[in-house]
Amino acid sequence: MTEPFLAEKIAGFVDDISISRLPVSTIAMVKRLVLDTLGCALGGVEAKPVALLRNLAPDVVPGALGATCLGDGRRVTTEGAVIVNGAMVRYLDFMDVYWSRDICHPAENITVALACVEEVNGNGKRLIEAIVAGYEMQIRLCDAFSFRDIGGHHASAAGFVAPLVAGKAWGQSRVVMAQGGALGGFRHLTLSVLASGELSMAKAAAYPLSASEGVSAARLAAAGFTGPLAVYEGLFEQSGANIDDYALDQNFYRIEGVSLKQFPAQFALQAPIAAAVRLHEGAKHRLDEIQQIRARVKQDALGRIADPNKFQPMNRETADHSLPSCVAMALCDGELTDAQFSENRFLDEDVMRLTMLVDAIGEPSFEGQFPSGRPGAIEVKFTNGDVIDAVEEIPLGDVDRPMDEATVCDKFLGQAIPVVGETTARAIIEFIEDLENQSSVKPLLQLCRKI
């Protein structure tokens, strides 16, 4: 008997996911992540890229299969909802993050699960299972393989993961899910240029666009269309990675290793921003006297957050990935919020002046001190020789310094209340707190309509 392909083993793992066997802590983590993700989505509801994508999402006639767009409540095709809602989640760069051999934002699978479960009028238990499937498969791929090693971007994972999320939501067999994963995975390589230099609106759409086609791949597989089941073997061969590193153990669920963000910015910027916020009090009356700002982060982060384009960001997409720009805004204002990006605060003269004073440094000692962390340190030197500094070893929200429930709720409310109002925002929290007992996810989508 021949050894099954990895795509077949993965499909079996997904098929075996059952809420009856999930630890209480895993279910609690799912609820926390759904709340955080919906907050990110509501915060991005008015973003220009979202509006452009929304205009292209096809409406469906009453009674036809489809899903709901967050914000406006329109019924569109399920694939259309995956694109629109996914872009909302991604746009603010406020969603969760996981990193090991590669980086990923597994929250991008939550909107896939929501749309696919809604299509079949599924319940809260089914949604939890589909979300766990998405997280476990993307995180385990991230642990075993890096798309960066072959010139790709981590959004490439959407083609592999989204068909499995859809398959779990729709109750597909493991045979069908294996074919769906193969059909979605073999053709979705997103190039690393997506996150290089001056960033574009494509940042918000990279995962959702591929995930939407992944959902279609699951439909094709259900109809009998077959794919190259050796897709993982071929992928790993390209980079020389060991395919045996893709672990399918069920001893623990890796979803519990995900980190949240305190600030709407790239994940490696969380610590230096926090350090800069702490220095605001000592610098706010002396901003004109600042002579130099030294920002220390891990060496491998510099290429993504401090290349030349990041010192003169011309758009929000670039600014929220810019170490100098984010540090400058945090020093000037004592905070870093979506409002600053929305109002192009990064282009103001006082911020631009400090941006150009930032000296971005790769700190060799950080690798040894924090091998799996994302520390940051800021030192501000004034013209009279005075120096103030701060170090953030572990940013709030990190898996090693998790937010408490009140902080997660406050983050959600800060994004949701301006869109849906406080009463509805708190109703969303209550719905999610009892997610496993909800008979349908449709009421949740209706609550997420802007007032």
Residue 82 lies in a domain: yes
Shared-domain flag, residues 177 and 274: no
CB neighbour list of residue 446: distance below 8 Å, 6 or more residues apart: 68, 73
Are 196 and 127 in the same domain?
A: yes
CATH code where residue 200 lies = 1.10.4100.10
Find all residues with CB under 8 Å of 76, minimum gap 6, and list them.
Answer: 57, 58, 59, 60, 66, 67, 68, 69, 84
* Same domain, residue pair 70 and 162: yes
Paired residues of 98 in beta bridges: 104
pTM summary value: 0.96
Say if residue 174 is in the same domain as residue 271: no
Within a domain: residue 400?
no
Alpha-carbon span 307 to 435, nearest angstrom: 43
Does one domain contain both 126 and 180? yes
pLDDT tens-digit readout, 329-350: 999 999 999 999 999 999 999 9
Q: Per the structure block, which two tokens stand in for 147?
A: 């798309």
Buried b / exposed e along 171-201 (16+ C-beta atoms within 10 A) = ebebebbbbbbbbbbbebbbebebbeeebeb
In a shared domain, residues 193 and 318: no
In this predicted model, what pLDDT tens digit does every residue of 113-157 receive, in sequence order? Answer: 999 999 999 999 999 999 999 999 999 999 999 999 999 999 999
Angle at 195 between CA 191 and CA 196, to 5 degrees: 95
Question: Is 247 domain-assigned?
Answer: yes
- What pLDDT does residue 62 have? 87
Q: Do 159 and 57 belong to one domain?
A: yes
Q: Distances from the Cα of 171 to the Cαs of 164, 176, 218, 268, in angstroms?
A: 10, 10, 11, 37
Encode the chain (451 residues) as per-residue pLDDT tens digits: 589 999 999 999 999 999 999 999 999 999 999 999 999 999 999 999 999 999 999 999 988 999 999 999 999 999 999 999 999 999 999 999 999 999 999 999 999 999 999 999 999 999 999 999 999 999 999 999 999 999 999 999 999 999 999 999 999 999 999 999 999 999 989 999 999 889 999 999 999 999 999 999 999 999 999 999 999 999 999 888 999 999 998 778 999 999 999 999 999 999 999 999 999 999 999 999 999 999 999 998 888 899 999 999 999 999 999 999 999 999 999 999 999 999 999 999 999 999 999 999 999 999 888 887 889 999 999 999 999 999 999 999 999 999 999 999 999 999 999 999 999 999 999 999 999 999 999 999 999 999 9
Same domain, 204 and 344: no
Query: Is the separation of the CB atoms in 91 and 199 below 8 Å?
Result: no
In a domain, 200, yes or no: yes
In this prediction, residue 418 carries a pLDDT of 97
Do 201 and 229 lie in one domain? The reply is yes
b/e map 365-376, b = 16+ CB within 10 Å: ebeeebeebbbb
Residues 244, 360, single domain; the answer is: no
Question: Would you call 223 exposed, middle or buried from its count of C-beta atoms within 10 A (0-12, 13-18, 19+)?
Answer: exposed
Q: Residue 149: inside a domain, yes or no? A: yes
Total domain count, the chain: 2
Q: Is residue 103 a part of any domain in this protein? A: yes
Domain that holds residue 230: 6-260+414-447
Examine the domain organization and report whether 225 and 356 are in the same domain: no
Between CA 165 and CA 129 the distance in angstroms is: 9
Give the bridge partners for 219, in sequence order.
none
Sign of the C-alpha dihedral, residues 343, 346, 350, 352? Answer: negative
Q: What is the CATH number of the domain that holds 378?
A: 3.30.1330.120
Distance CA 14, CA 5 (A): 15
pLDDT at 1: 56
* Direct distance between the N- and C-terminal alpha carbons of the chain, in angstroms, rounded to an integer: 60
In a domain, 91, yes or no: yes
Whether 399 is covered by a domain: the verdict is no
Residue 361 and residue 228 share a domain:
no
